[in-house]
Amino acid sequence: MNEAESVAHQAWRLIHGKTKPPGSLGKLEALAAQIAAAQGSLAPELDLAALIIFIADHGIAEAGVSAWPQTVTMEMARNFLAGGAAATVFARKFGIPVTLVDAGMREPMAHPKLLDRRLGPGTANFATGPAMSAAQCETALDHGRKLGREAECDALCLGEMGIGNTSSAAMLAHKMLGLPLPELIGPGAGLDAAGVAHKRAILLQAAARTPSRLEPARALAEYGGFEIAMLAGAMLGGAQSRRLVLVDGYIATAAALAALRLEPACRTNLVFSHESAEPGHRLMLDAIGAEPLLQLNLRLGEGTGALVSWPLLRAAGAILADMASFEEAGVSGKRP
């Protein structure tokens, strides 16, 4: 039994002794044990959260796989900076600081609130060749690791923005998990039936370029996005610093697949916040045995699902840190 397993075992013993019927707090009890294991503490602290949004463009968007023009990536970056996007609004309501990262938009944007980690003007079109070089992929992972490791928080919420990135997510799940590609392809941000059919044809063509299964670094280089590779790195960096990492939806889960294959021990720190309405997300979650906290039919990204899960994380931590035991409260336990 490793340290995390030992702490989780001790946490469960404490949870069972709290003033409540066994199992009556449902998923929050399992979450409390996970938080204890991740922090290595039976009195976990969850006072501060932070949000990092990675923004990048995708060459595959040139193939018409999105309902939105590629210019929306940069336009949404401006919206984030102005505080008008859903994620920035939610973060402001919760008092959560936001870091915005240019991982590789088509055009550079100078702004004091935008962190420059550009790896190029978007990835290449992966229908015809690799999305990025192996060196770019490694740099993206390194940038993400550093940001995840140095974030000043107890829990790290991670978000993304990039037109075309549901196509990358589908390809990553297909190549790393072996899931059927057609079942992973959905409407993304609003494709109609004809649009989904076109997207499917393009991605099947792209899949034929490489072997059926790929190791995580090659999968990211062949089919990923700069923002997805940085997300994976941030998850690893956050886990390394014993932070809880709130994984958002479809895109973030694709990044988590890579992180888990690169460093399986990070699983203790990953909290899957919600199940996206994108059809392939449930397949991903089932394949890795992840049980999301929420089902709200979200499909926005940006870290919105991670943000709305933050209060649940705090509540779960309080079970261990603040809730009385039967003995402490002078309450009779269950009859034998």
**CATH number, domain at 39?**
1.10.1610.10
336 lies in some domain: no
Instruction: Tell me, yes or no, whether 174 and 195 share the same domain.
Output: yes
Q: What band does 113 get if pLDDT is binned at 50, 70 and 90?
A: very high
Same domain, 13 and 53: no
Specify the range with the lowest mean pLDDT, choosing from 116-125, 156-165, 182-191, 326-335: 326-335
Does the pLDDT at position 334 exceed 80? no
Same-domain status, 13 and 138: no
Q: Are residues 53 and 41 in the same domain?
A: no
Average pLDDT (159-168) is 97
Catalytic residue among 152, 302, 327, 328: 302
Residue 210 to residue 55: CA distance in whole angstroms = 26
CB atoms within 10 A of CB 330: 8
The per-residue pLDDT for 8 is: 92
Same structural domain, 154 and 180 = yes
Whether 229 and 292 map to the same domain: the answer is yes
- pLDDT band at 326; cut points 50, 70, 90: confident
221 and 131 in a common domain: yes
Task: Please state, in angstroms and rounded to a whole number, the distance separating the CA atoms of residues 80 and 161.
Answer: 10
User: Residue 77: what pLDDT?
Assistant: 97
* 113-117 average pLDDT score: 97
In a domain, 19, yes or no: yes
- pLDDT category of residue 330 using cuts at 50, 70 and 90: confident
pLDDT score of 333: 66
Does residue 335 form part of some domain? no
Burial class (CB in 10 A: 0-12, 13-18, 19+), 166: buried
Strand (E) positions, 35-132? 49-56, 98-104, 114-116
pLDDT of residue 332: 81
Asked if residue 1 has pLDDT above 80, the reply is no
Average pLDDT over residues 287-315: 96
Helix, strand or coil for residue 53? strand
Indicate if the pLDDT at residue 81 is higher than 70. yes
User: How much of the chain, in percent, has pLDDT values that exceed 90?
Assistant: 94
What does DSSP assign to residue 55? Answer: E
pTM: 0.96
For the chain, report the end-to-end CA distance as a whole number of angstroms: 30
Residue 262 resides in a domain: yes
- Domain containing 33 equals 3-45+319-329
pLDDT band at 331 (very low <50, low <70, confident <90, very high): confident
Average pLDDT over residues 204-216: 97
At residue 336 the predicted structure's pLDDT band, cuts being 50, 70 and 90, is: low
Active site residue 302: yes
